[in-house]
Amino acid sequence: MKTIRQADIWVGCFLAIVGLLIVYAASNIRIGVERALSPRFFPSVLGWTILLCGAGLALKSWRLTVEDIKIQWPDRQGFRAIMVCLLLLAAYIVLMKPLGLPIVTFLYVTANIWFLKPEKWGVAVLCGIAVGVISYVVFIHYLQLSFPVGFLLEQLGLEG
């Protein structure tokens, strides 16, 4: 049996490492056409945020002096849910370029909500549509970031 303190320390360290890798990867993004926001901006902010939050969680948990609570690690069903969510995330990343940000975001959000709450399929579809549209409007149209639009939206002339 593990404790919440140990789990928080490990998760914090993991997130700090992920944030560091994102910051490093963002620093290697080539800047092509000059835009209002550099293509490095969003990933850099995200990486630094994850790095600082992870380090903060690990340090806070390390210094914790109250009695620690024992926790159970995920059982077979919990492990399955984690693996499916990670596979959906991997599919999101792989399908981003061919399908584009709005469509792959719709599919990812819809599939994730439907998997976690199958009886809420209507909510899953509505949330997927909302997040897909918002991702297009905010990131592609308004901020003009260089996310792929996908072949379907290119055919409709919605390239940003």
User: Which of 51, 73, 95 marks a domain boundary?
Assistant: 73
User: Which of 40, 73, 106 marks a domain boundary?
Assistant: 73
pLDDT tens digits along 39-59:
788 888 999 999 999 999 999
pLDDT tens digits along 113-126:
999 988 888 999 99
Query: Is 69 in the same domain as 125?
Result: no
Query: Is 90 in the same domain as 111?
Result: yes
Return the percentage of the chain with pLDDT > 70, whole number.
Answer: 92
Q: Place 13 in a pLDDT band, splitting at 50, 70 and 90.
A: very high
Q: What is the 3-state secondary structure (H, E, C) of 61-130?
A: HHCCCCCCCEECCCCHHHHHHHHHHHHHHHHHHHHHHHHCHHHHHHHHHHHHHHHHCHHHHHHHHHHHHH
**What pLDDT score was predicted for residue 1?**
45
Query: Is 67 in the same domain as 92?
Result: no
- pLDDT of residue 136 exceeding 90, the answer is no
Query: Is 37 in the same domain as 110?
Result: no
Residue 118 or 73, more confident: 118
Whole-structure pTM value:
0.64
Query: Is 21 in the same domain as 88?
Result: no
Residue 149 or 119, more confident: 119
User: Which of 73, 105, 129 marks a domain boundary?
Assistant: 73
- pLDDT of residue 160 exceeding 60, the answer is no
**What pLDDT score was predicted for residue 124?**
92
CA angle at 25 for the pair 112 and 50, rounded to the nearest 5°: 55
Query: Is 44 in the same domain as 109?
Result: no
Q: C-alpha 54: how far from its chain's center?
A: 15
Query: Is 113 in the same domain as 98?
Result: yes
Query: Is 141 in the same domain as 69?
Result: no
Query: Is 22 in the same domain as 42?
Result: yes
User: Into how many domains does the chain fold?
Assistant: 2
Q: State which residues form the domain around 82.
A: 74-160
Query: Is 64 in the same domain as 34?
Result: yes
